[in-house]
Structure formats: C-alpha cells, structure tokens
Structure 1
Amino acid sequence: MCVGEIVPGVFVCERSQDASVRVFRTRVDQCVFISVCLSARSMSQQPISPLKNFFAGGFGGVCLVFAGHPLDTIKVRLQTQPKPRPGETALYRGTLDCLKKTLAKEGVLGLYKGMAAPIIGVTPMFAVCFFGFGLGKKLQQKTPDDVLTYPQLFAAGMLSGVFTTAIMAPGERIKCLLQIQAASGQVKYAGPVDCVKQLYRENGIRGIYKGTALTLMRDVPASGMYFMTYEWLKYTLTPEGKSPSELSVPSILFAGGMAGIFNWAVAIPPDVLKSRFQTAPEGKYPNGFRDVLRELIREEGIGSLYKGFNAVMLRAFPANAVRLLLSTHRGQTRVTRGSDEGQTRDTRGTCGGLAGVTPQEL
C-alpha cells in the first residue's frame, strides 16, 4: 500500500502507533514518497488453496514412499514367507539376506514392486490422517485453547487411524499381493489395476477390502501412540521458557523418528497378521485373524509376530523424522498440543505486499 509526494532530503523510517504499520519517507527533489508496509499479522490472511495444500503435502508423501518402499518390500516378504519344511532352509534368513536375494533375482526394481498403490493413496491418506487427528482433538476440547492430556492425545490419534483405514486397507491389500508374487514364482497380476480388476471379479468389493479389521487393529492404537509420543517428546525436548514451535531441526527429527519407532513397536504384531491374511489364498483362514494367530503361534512361536522387525525399524526412524519435519517446520507448527488443528502462527512480517502465510503440510 503506497502513497507519495516528493521532497528533497534523506531516508527516514518511522513506525506509527499501530505497531503493525511502518511508514517510510524518502525525500528526493522536493517530493515526499511514503510507503506503508503491513506485516502479515495485520493484513487479512489470504486464503490458502486447499488444492495447493493437498498437492504440497502429497509431494512430500510421495518422496517418503519412494525412499521407504524397498524396506517395506523386504518386511512384507519376511512376514509372509512360509515355514520351511524339515530339512529345508528358510527362503530368507533375515533382512540382509532378503535384500541380496531380491537384488540378485529381480534387480533394483524388485524392491519397488507394489509401490503404485501407496503412491496413489499417500496424498489423501496424509490429509485424512491429520484431519482425523484435528477432529479428535476438537471433540475433546471445550475451548480452542484447552490443553489436552496425553491420554486425550492418544484418543485423538486413534481417531485418525480409523479415518485412514478406508484408504489404507485396499492399498495394503494390493501392495502386499504385488510385493510377494515375484518371490513366490507365480506372477498372477500384471500391475495394480489388473490386481483390482481380478480381486473384484473374484470376490467383489470384499475381495479388495480383505484385511480391513486387521488394518484397524494395527492403525488405531499405533496412530494413537504416534501422535502422543511425538507431543510428549516435543515438550520434553523444549528448553525451559521456550515454545515447542522453536524446536531445532535435530530435535524435531529426533522426536518424529522416535514417534515412528513407538508407532511400529505397537503395530508390528497386527501388521504381521494382516500381511499373512491379505496374501493368503481365499478360504485358508475362514475365521480371519484368529486362524492366522493360532497358526503362527503353533508353528513358529510368539517371535513370529515380530517378523520383519529390523526392516521396519530401519525404515521407521528416518521416514517419520522427515515426515514430521515437513509437517511442522514450514514456518509454523502443524501439530501443537492445545491448539486448533491447522492453526497458523506465522509472525514473520513482510513488505511490498508479500503477505506470505506458509501453506500447511497435509
């Protein structure tokens, strides 16, 4: 916003009684030039396009999927490999052995089998996840400034897990089937679209959503642990007298990474059951996860519920550290205990009309 007349002199900068308005006077050749620069807080915030937010968060999610998918493929193959018969050795002896054999037999692309499904679903999944968490917080707050307890944050996180299941269950079903078919030597599906067509043709929509209950059993408590642990670590790492929004990048990375570790510590047992159930032939487990659990415990012991542990943990820390860094460190705090979900607190002043309110990550 500028007004001006011209007068000779020197450059003078004044601040009006309204701290949000700065007046600059430049005296040149008998004229006064006055420009008024408003800070971002005093200007009416321009609405941020939901579509831009959607794709901005989605791009970060796609990058994370691409980086973490090889370890996810190894995890699923370890979880679903059959028990060796007497006198035979296991198909994979561990994470490193699975990596070597996959590279030798299928090349680098073998580690990216089934990646199309999570790539397609990651953008809406991130959006729905944070929407569910925000809704879970608001439902428990009497006023927007109420500070939630850790059990309340856990409950809000669990609600986000309920919301994401509608996207996660079919995506996981397709992904797991594509990840294991090459290792089993029977290539049934040409790709994700062909997989969906065949599943629908054979069993209708139920065939695509097979394993939904186990996905809920995995994601609901794990999401609660994820958000609660992150908030707890964020406040624990905040120096006395400072705001959590001022946390350094290393602190945010550590909090996000450890939240991922705690998340998967809860999620691994139901994840093993889900992977086994979703990739099993139709009719093998008529009673659902109970049959899978009985078979695993009877044949391989309680330790079988933690198959793929090393691959999961190698992936969990860096992926979740970067995920929460992207979500919280773009000029604002994306997840803040006791504040409305998605509330922007960007106090950086701008001049020349650059009233930039940083778009929120999904």
Structure 2
Amino acid sequence: MSLEDPLYHITPVQQAAASCTGAVLTSLLVTPLDVVKIRLQAQHRLSQNVSNKCFLYCNGLMDHFCGCTPNNGQKHWFQRPGHFNGTIDAFIKITKNEGIYSLWSGLGPTLVLALPTTILYFVTYEQLRLRLKNLYNRNNVEGQERKQPYWIPLISGATARIFAVSVVSPLELIRTKMQSRKISYAEINESLKLLIKQDGIKGLWKGVFPTLGRDVPFSAIYWMNYETIKGFFGSDTPTFGVSFFAGAVSGGIAAFATVPFDVVKTHQQIEIGEKTLYTDKPQRTKRTAQIIREIYRHSGIKGLYAGLVPRLVKVAPACAIMISSFEYGKVFFYRLANPDSDIFNSSKENLQSNK
C-alpha cells in the first residue's frame, strides 16, 4: 500500500496545508542565518560608503531586494549599528543588544508572498506528477504499475516552477516597490500605470526571466534527483529521515548545477531592483548574454561560480526541511482521515527489509 496509489491520494487542499507547514518551518529555521549574513554584508557596504545601491538575498524560500538608502530618515533593519567580527559574534551581539526576535527581521513580508508561492509550486508539482504517472501506467499493455521514469518529476518540477513564478511575479514587483520606502497605494497605482504605458501589460512581469532562468533548471534537477534517491529506499511513502536526506542531497546537486544561473540572475535582479527602487521611470536592463560576457571577461569561469559554498550551505538544509515537512504532512493528513491505516508502518517495514 502506498500514497502513490490513486485510492490513497490526499486532496489538493491537504497538499496545500502540507506545503504551507513546510514553508513556515523553513522560514523560521533559515531566516536567522540570512539575517546575520545580511547584517555582516551591510556592515561591509556601509564601511565603504555605498549609499545608493541595493543587494539581493534569499532566505531559502524567496529573494528579497534591500535598498541601502534611509527610509524617510529611518534606517532599515539591516542598517542597524553593530561591529561584528564574524557569524557567531553577530548572533551573540544581535541577540544581546536587540533581542532574539531581531534574528527574524523581515519574516512577515517573506511569509506574505512565500506561502502562496510555495503552495502553488508544491500542489502543482504533486498534481502534475501524479497525473503524468497515471497516464504513463495507463498505456502499459501489461496492466501492472511501472516504476516512475525520471522525466516525470523533471517535467513536473519545471512546469510547476514556471507556473508559480509567473503568477506571483506582479505581486513581487509591487512588494519590492513598497519595501523600498514608504509609499502610498495611489503612488503604486501611478507607477504601475506608467510601467504598463511604456512596456505594456508584460511590464508587470519585469524581471521574471532572470528568475525563471535559475529556478526552472533548479526545480527540474532537484525533483528528478529527489524522486530517484527516494526510489532507492524502495518506498513511495518515505520516512521523515529518508525525505530529509534525499531533499538535502538533491538540493545540493541542483544548487551546484545552477550556480552560474544564480550568479547571472543575481546581477540582473540587482540591476532591475535598483531601477525599481530608486527611479519611477522604467528603464532597460542588460541582457543575459551581455552579463555573462562581462562576468567572464572580468573574473573568468570562477566568476560564474561565485558564492558556491554559501549557496550550498543554505539551499541544502532549506530543501531538506521543506520536502521532509511536505512528505510528512501528506502522511499526516492521510492518517488523519484513515486512523486505522498501516501505510506509514508499511513504509518503515519496506525500508528495513531493503537494508
């Protein structure tokens, strides 16, 4: 018996709840690491008197633009004074001087947009994967369920990411504008009208292609490897530990393979962010090929793999937390509706028998 069997599928609403739980847990556990990293980066920037730039960071779920200019005379959370000598020192001083809650600065805006994005992404992936798998087995003349081929999670992951990013992209543009400074809804409305007038309705998706250029290959590689590793353990209903391990390894592989995409995407998004944050008139940005040539000319191949270690350190545990919470959530909702089922115990027995 397996959750892969159509008789035991949970509903899309239950899948959404499972992914929502994973998103909250990932944000809660990973955000402090990024807050410390950003405070260290901002400290370095301010020491260089960089006052008219923005930078990009990701807390494991989504990217954020941070502008370094004061917000109507008030400093942003990442501009608070501090003299940190390293990561551990920053953790101690922030907790002692500003309170432990400061380690979760910016969590609210993250969850507002991350939750719907994550729900769209995971529910779309799961629904599409199961439908493709059922279609694949329906054409089997032998009448027996065949092992899921690698191309099903690959296509499902890429398609789900395209859908989630495309739907949420206009909201991300508005959020970026609102976070840059205090701005009224009337001013946002005027900015959006100007953007649409100059670039058409496609202007609402400004910056979406750099995001897709990184996230679609990442999702395709991640899900293909995750489903493959999960299959090695001989169960379609993995334990929490198996999901955590498979998620961490798959996330690491996908992160490594897409570092050049991430570097190019960061350059493009920072340029788009600065023009969004500091100007009301839309401007043209550099093309992907142009940015790749510039990076290669100045830094060579190493430049395209800049930030590899920090990306691996952050992405692997974030993927592990997210997918293990999602998989466990699916089992939880199934058992909630079927308290007498032995499906979870069966997966453990299958795992032990394969050892």
TM-score by length of 1: 0.58
Task: Evaluate the alpha carbon distance shift between residue 153 and residue 294 of structure 1 in structure 2; reply closer, same or farther with a 3 A threshold.
Answer: same
Q: Distance in 2 between matches of 1:171 and 1:76?
A: 23
Deviation at 1:299, TM superposition (A): 3.2
Match of 2:303 in 1: 304
Is the CA contact 1:173–1:208 (under 8 Å) kept in the aligned structure 2? yes
Equivalent runs, 1:182-331 vs 2, <5 Å? 187-188=180-181, 197=189, 200-204=192-196, 205-236=201-232, 238=233, 243-245=234-236, 247-280=238-271, 281=275, 286-330=285-329
Q: Distance in 2 between matches of 1:317 and 1:331?
A: 21
**3-state SS of the aligned residue for 1:329?**
helix
* Deviation sequence 1:286-311 (CA, Å, 0-9, x none): 45222322333333443333344333
Is the CA contact 2:268–2:285 (under 8 Å) kept in the aligned structure 1? no
Match of 1:11 in 2: none
Q: Distance in 1 between matches of 2:209 and 2:307?
A: 21
Aligned amino acid, residue 254 of structure 1: F
Percent same amino acid among aligned pairs?
Answer: 21
Task: Evaluate the alpha carbon distance shift between residue 273 and residue 67 of structure 1 in structure 2; reply closer, same or farther with a 3 A threshold.
Answer: same
**3-state SS of the aligned residue for 2:146?**
coil
**3-state SS of the aligned residue for 1:146?**
coil
Matched, 1:130 2:126: yes
Deviation at 1:213, TM superposition (A): 1.9
Match of 1:57 in 2: 19
Q: CA RMSD in A?
A: 5.1
* Deviation sequence 1:166-186 (CA, Å, 0-9, x none): 1354466567778xx8xxxxx
Task: Name the structure with the higher helix share.
Answer: 2
Aligned amino acid, residue 149 of structure 1: P
* Deviation sequence 1:257-288 (CA, Å, 0-9, x none): 11111222233322332232233127775452
Deviation at 1:313, TM superposition (A): 2.0
* Deviation sequence 1:114-171 (CA, Å, 0-9, x none): 5243244333333233334334545655259232322444233322233223135446
**3-state SS of the aligned residue for 1:278?**
helix
Aligned amino acid, residue 118 of structure 1: A
Equivalent runs, 1:45-84 vs 2, <5 Å? 50-71=12-33
Moved more, 249-258 or 298-307: 298-307
Which is greater in Rg? 1
Task: Evaluate the alpha carbon distance shift between residue 329 and residue 117 of structure 1 in structure 2; reply closer, same or farther with a 3 A threshold.
Answer: closer
Structure 1 residue ranges without an equivalent (≥5): 1-44, 182-186, 335-343
Task: Evaluate the alpha carbon distance shift between residue 210 and residue 82 of structure 1 in structure 2; reply closer, same or farther with a 3 A threshold.
Answer: farther
Q: Aligned pairs, how many?
A: 285
Aligned amino acid, residue 272 of structure 1: V
Deviation at 1:47, TM superposition (A): 9.9
TM-score by length of 2: 0.59
Higher relative contact order (CA 8 A, sep 6+): 2
Moved more, 212-221 or 278-287: 278-287
Structure 2 residue ranges without an equivalent (≥5): 1-6, 59-83, 277-281, 345-355
